[in-house]
Amino acid sequence: MSWQIYAAISAIAAGATAILAKVGLEGVPSNLANAIRTAIVLVLSIGIAITTGDHKKMGSLTGHVWLFLALSGVATAVSWIAYFKALSLGPATPVNGIDKASLVVTWLLSMAFLGEALGWRTGVGVVLVATGAFLMAGK
């Protein structure tokens, strides 16, 4: 499958995640709910790595890879903790819309650190996403 198909699957699953999490948060502290979800993600991720045989490549990972995967893990944890807290306090659609404004951060960082050349069409798309997040943040 192409990266576009995987990205579409990701978008569909992420949209469902917001609704499922919002319902699951009823009467549950957001940090506990996030811990339960994270444990399930961990179990499924390890299972997939073992099933595909990818776990056999652990010994070839460099310190550089470990560092950046660890930093990515910390960023993911902060994102998920904040996301679940926001969902516990606010409506799912605006929370998810604002969360998707992370595209702006990705765009800026990918240009600054990855040297990605992103054209005017991407720039317009990022501005539209940012505008949508701003509009959704209002009451």
Tens digits of residue pLDDT in 17-74: 999 999 999 999 999 999 999 999 999 999 999 999 999 999 999 999 999 999 999 9
Nearest to 85 by CA among 121, 16, 32, 132: 32
CA distance to 82, 93, 126, per residue, from 131 (Å)? 21, 15, 8
pLDDT at position 133? 87
> What gap in Å lies between CA 108 and CA 126, rounded to an integer?
10
State pLDDT tens for residues 58-75.
Answer: 999 999 999 999 999 999
Cβ 72 vs Cβ 114: under 8 Å? no
Cβ 96 vs Cβ 15: under 8 Å? yes
How much is the pTM? Answer: 0.85
pLDDT at position 128? 93
pLDDT at position 118? 82
Q: How confident is the model at residue 139 (pLDDT cuts 50, 70, 90)?
A: low
**54 vs 139 pLDDT, higher one:** 54
pLDDT at position 37? 95
Cβ 118 vs Cβ 110: under 8 Å? yes
pLDDT at position 68? 96
Q: Tell me which residue has tokens 């569909």.
A: 12
Tokens read off for 128: 């539209």
Cβ 104 vs Cβ 126: under 8 Å? yes
Compute the mean pLDDT over every residue in the chain, rounded to the nearest whole number: 93
State pLDDT tens for residues 79-133.
Answer: 999 999 999 999 998 998 899 889 999 999 999 999 998 889 999 999 999 998 8
